[in-house]
């Protein structure tokens, strides 16, 4: 945006036309692959469901009504609040929140460790962080399913050494979903925090220690404020995709532990076959994320203005 | 008279980095004491171990061998946040997310002082460094000189017993540096805190310090007041590092504990300060203690000259081919200066020649 609008200095004036041309491909890609589909979803969410899974071009609030209100099986009761979908959204939110917290707890020390290695070995450590991405996420999620199922190596191993007598139910639980989310998105936490810590001026820690701060005070009062941009970026990068995650809840959570992703998938591909409703679910998710980010951006600009 | 307990007592301190054959010795058996209420300077070229010594005193590094005492107490077991010592860092290391006032208050907050005390102490410190209007600014909104003052105020606020300053003026321009020298000295006098100042700048050291330790290659070469170090350097390194000097080889004719009779290369016999250890001696003589005239001690040929305003620096060649640097005041007796190629003679001030230990 800034590139298009703010050519105020003399050099900017000269280069402005060239720059606009150079930005054109990006705008086309963003417009075609991001804005268009979102607009299409927005339109679909206000259309009427067609019997065999398509849509009828008739304006309707039915999808949003269905999401929030319970009017009974034949539409003649209530309306009461429809808790079924809100519950899925609530579960998604806390699952994503917990995954973010776990990623932060593990990711921060990891990033700190890498950033404090000698420059020569840092590259190797970073490279190792990206290794899991060589294998498709689907394959990795499925193999996790094999690991934690009742007859998987974890349960078998624990039984073999006599710690447990019967398998612990891990698959198809919230725990399994959490494990999947945490594992899938951990690198998204590590990398931005690493970038922040790498720029951190370690003399600040010495200065704080010199001024009588304990280790924890150095961490809380100096280090974390200094690397906060990396922490916030990492949290957004983990929380947002976790919220809409589909593979982990679908493969590890089973039928009872749905998250938003599973609900939406079911509307488009699965048994429900309700495109307008799926589109409405997606729009509600999008609104949640946007509100969250706007809230954060406002906080940021207020902090910067201070 | 009561025995004075030194502020810092360094006893046989060794510091090595790394282990095995690749280990680097930063400090080798260093021992000396810094007095209470003293402006003490560690002076030396980069890599001489002066910053390492400062970091050992602050507690950021651990000694390999030896002991450090702070007012008679052994500090080796104390982590840096438990030592009543504060540091002014070379690049200031101000907390960027805190205001100037919050930076200055940091140490007091960590010590658990109450809010009212902290506020009044911060105001006092801001006034001391003449930044009373700047308390609400961020460090990034200040100039280099102002940041330097904030760093000083932050380190002084908790009223440490010893203040360490790690080349704090090196990032400032010349004018500001000269001004800060006077202010630092003033603040040290006012607060009565022991200052340990690290620098590679001899001028800084000479103008501010009560005493100076000249360091090189992990050893303390000489400790003394500015005049002692300048006028009576104990060895070639100190003579060379502090100010400009000429080195000559001389033949020793007679020596006692404080002075010697020596013969210089040109054949002239002079009195030299210091005791000679053998028949041959290295001697040094400062350019400003030499002069040029038509008649004098050492006949010479003027090679080149540099006009320096108040005086002119001549490089002259002696009969044996060695070169001497001579500084001659321009106001001197209204005579005209010498020109390159002109024959002249070097006049040596009585007591100007010093015998060096090595």
pLDDT in tens, A57-84: 888 888 898 888 888 777 777 788 888 8
Pairing relationship of beta strands A69-70 and A80-81 according to DSSP bridges: antiparallel
Round to whole Å and give the CA distance between B289 and B303: 19
> Which residues have a Cβ under 8 Å from the Cβ of A162 and sit 6 or more positions away?
none
pLDDT band at A186 (very low <50, low <70, confident <90, very high): very high
Question: Residue B143 has what pLDDT?
Answer: 87
Interface contact B93-A204, CB threshold 8 A = yes
pLDDT band at B18 (very low <50, low <70, confident <90, very high): confident
Question: Residue B333 has what pLDDT?
Answer: 57
Contact A271, A190 (CB under 8 A): no
Over residues B123-155, the pLDDT tens digits come to 989 988 888 888 889 999 988 888 988 999 999
Let me know the angle formed at the C-alpha of B353 by B348 and B354, rounded to the nearest 5 degrees.
Answer: 175
Question: Residue A165 has what pLDDT?
Answer: 84
Over residues B321-330, the pLDDT tens digits come to 788 888 887 7
Question: Residue B324 has what pLDDT?
Answer: 84
Q: Which residues of A touch B58 (CB under 8 A)?
A: 210
Q: Of A212-216, A254-258, B260-264, where does the model show the most confidence?
A: A212-216
CA-closest candidate to residue B322, choices B248, B243, B235? B248
Predicted confidence (pLDDT) at residue A305 exceeds the cutoff of 70? no
pLDDT band at B352 (very low <50, low <70, confident <90, very high): confident
Q: Among A211, A214, A222, select the one facing B107 at the smallest CB separation.
A: A211
Q: Among A209, A222, A226, select the one facing B81 at the smallest CB separation.
A: A209
In chain A, the percentage of residues whose pLDDT exceeds 70 is 94
A118 to chain B, closest Cα gap in Å: 15
pTM recorded for the entire structure: 0.78
CA-closest candidate to residue A156, choices A183, A251, A147? A147
CB of A304 less than 8 A from some CB of B: no
Round to whole Å and give the CA distance between A63 and B6: 83
Predicted confidence (pLDDT) at residue B103 exceeds the cutoff of 90? yes
Let me know the angle formed at the C-alpha of A116 by A115 and A119, rounded to the nearest 5 degrees.
Answer: 75
Question: Residue B332 has what pLDDT?
Answer: 60
Bridge partners for B14 per DSSP: B65
What value does the mean pLDDT take over residues B104-121? 91
Question: Residue A222 has what pLDDT?
Answer: 93
What value does the mean pLDDT take over residues B39-57? 89
Q: Which residues of B touch A202 (CB under 8 A)?
A: none
What value does the mean pLDDT take over residues A150-168? 86
A211 to chain B, closest Cα gap in Å: 4
Predicted confidence (pLDDT) at residue A7 exceeds the cutoff of 60? no
Interface contact B106-A208, CB threshold 8 A = yes
Round to whole Å and give the CA distance between B90 and B167: 5
Question: Residue A13 has what pLDDT?
Answer: 60
Predicted confidence (pLDDT) at residue B313 exceeds the cutoff of 70? yes
What value does the mean pLDDT take over residues A142-150? 89
Round to whole Å and give the CA distance between A51 and A144: 38
A226 to chain B, closest Cα gap in Å: 7
What value does the mean pLDDT take over residues A113-123? 91
Interface contact B95-A209, CB threshold 8 A = no
Report helix, strand or coil for B301: strand
Interface contact B110-A203, CB threshold 8 A = no
Q: How many Cβ contacts (< 8 angstroms) between chains A and B?
A: 57
A14 to chain B, closest Cα gap in Å: 32
Q: How far is CA B209 from CA A251, B164, B181, B223, B337, in A?
A: 74, 13, 10, 11, 36
Predicted confidence (pLDDT) at residue A258 exceeds the cutoff of 60? yes
Predicted confidence (pLDDT) at residue B204 exceeds the cutoff of 80? yes
| Test mutation, B103, B110, B157, B160, chain A, max A CBs within 10 A | B110
A265 to chain B, closest Cα gap in Å: 45
What value does the mean pLDDT take over residues A198-204? 92
Predicted confidence (pLDDT) at residue A155 exceeds the cutoff of 60? yes
Which of A219-223, A298-302, B176-180, B312-316 bottoms out in mean pLDDT, i.e. has the lowest? A298-302
Interface contact B95-A203, CB threshold 8 A = no
pLDDT band at A4 (very low <50, low <70, confident <90, very high): very low
């Amino acid at each position: 945006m800034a590139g298009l609008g703010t050519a105020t200095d003399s050099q900017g004036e000269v280069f402005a036309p060239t720059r606009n041309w150079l930005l054109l491909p990006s705008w086309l890609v963003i417009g075609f692959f991001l804005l268009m589909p979102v607009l299409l979803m927005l339109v679909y969410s206000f259309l009427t469901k067609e019997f065999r899974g398509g849509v009828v071009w008739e304006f309707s609030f039915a999808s949003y009504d269905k999401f929030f209100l319970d009017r009974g099986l034949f539409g003649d009761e209530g309306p009461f609040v429809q808790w079924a979908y809100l519950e899925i959204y609530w579960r998604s939110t806390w699952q994503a929140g917990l995954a973010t917290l776990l990623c932060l707890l593990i990711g921060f020390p990891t990033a700190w460790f890498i950033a404090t290695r000698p420059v020569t070995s840092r590259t190797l450590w970073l490279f190792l962080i990206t290794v899991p991405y060589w294998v498709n996420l689907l394959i990795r999620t499925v193999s996790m399913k094999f690991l934690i199922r009742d007859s998987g190596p974890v349960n078998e191993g624990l039984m073999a050494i006599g710690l447990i007598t019967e398998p612990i139910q891990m698959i198809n639980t919230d725990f399994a979903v959490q494990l999947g989310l945490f594992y899938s998105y951990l690198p998204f936490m590590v990398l931005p925090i690493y970038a922040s810590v790498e720029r951190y001026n370690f003399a600040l820690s010495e200065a704080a220690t010199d001024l009588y701060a304990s280790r924890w005070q150095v961490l809380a009062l100096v280090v974390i404020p200094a690397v906060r941009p990396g922490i916030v970026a990492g949290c957004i990068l983990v929380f947002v995709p976790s919220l809409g995650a589909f593979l982990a809840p679908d493969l590890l959570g089973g039928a009872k532990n749905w998250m938003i992703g599973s609900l939406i998938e079911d509307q488009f591909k699965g048994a429900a076959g309700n495109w307008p409703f799926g589109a409405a679910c997606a729009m509600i998710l999008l609104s949640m994320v946007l509100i969250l980010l706007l809230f954060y951006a406002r906080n940021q600009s207020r902090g910067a203005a201070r | 008279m009561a025995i004075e307990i030194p502020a810092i007592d360094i006893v046989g301190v060794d510091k090595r980095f790394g282990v095995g054959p690749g280990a680097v010795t930063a400090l080798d058996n260093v021992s000396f004491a810094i007095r209470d209420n003293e402006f003490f300077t560690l002076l030396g070229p980069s890599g001489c171990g002066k910053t390492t010594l400062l970091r050992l005193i602050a507690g950021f590094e651990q000694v390999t061998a030896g002991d450090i005492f702070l007012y008679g107490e052994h500090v080796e077991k104390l982590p840096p946040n438990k030592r009543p010592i504060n540091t002014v860092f070379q690049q200031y290391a101000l907390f960027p997310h805190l205001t100037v006032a919050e930076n200055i208050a940091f140490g007091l907050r960590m010590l658990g002082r109450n809010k009212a005390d902290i506020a009044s102490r911060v105001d006092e410190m801001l006034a001391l460094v003449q930044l009373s209007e700047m308390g609400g600014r961020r460090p990034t909104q200040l100039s280099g000189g102002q940041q330097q003052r904030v760093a000083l105020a932050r380190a002084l606020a908790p009223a440490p017993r010893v203040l360490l300053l790690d080349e704090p003026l090196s990032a400032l321009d010349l004018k500001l540096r000269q001004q800060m020298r006077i202010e630092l000295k003033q603040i040290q006098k006012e607060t009565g805190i022991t200052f340990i100042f690290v620098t590679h700048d001899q001028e800084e050291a000479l103008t501010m310090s009560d005493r100076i330790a000249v360091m090189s290659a992990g050893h303390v070469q000489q400790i003394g007041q500015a005049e002692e170090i300048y006028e009576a350097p104990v060895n070639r390194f100190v003579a060379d590092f502090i100010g400009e000097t000429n080195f000559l080889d001389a033949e020793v004719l007679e020596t006692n504990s404080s002075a010697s009779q020596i013969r210089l290369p040109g054949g002239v016999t002079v009195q030299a300060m210091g005791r000679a250890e053998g028949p041959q001696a290295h001697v040094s003589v400062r350019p400003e203690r030499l002069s040029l005239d038509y008649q004098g001690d050492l006949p010479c040929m003027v090679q080149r000259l540099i006009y320096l305003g108040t005086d002119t620096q001549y490089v002259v060649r002696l009969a044996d081919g060695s070169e001497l640097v001579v500084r001659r005041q321009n106001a001197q007796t209204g005579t005209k200066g010498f020109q390159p190629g002109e024959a002249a003679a070097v006049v040596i001030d009585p007591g100007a020649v010093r015998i060096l230990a090595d």
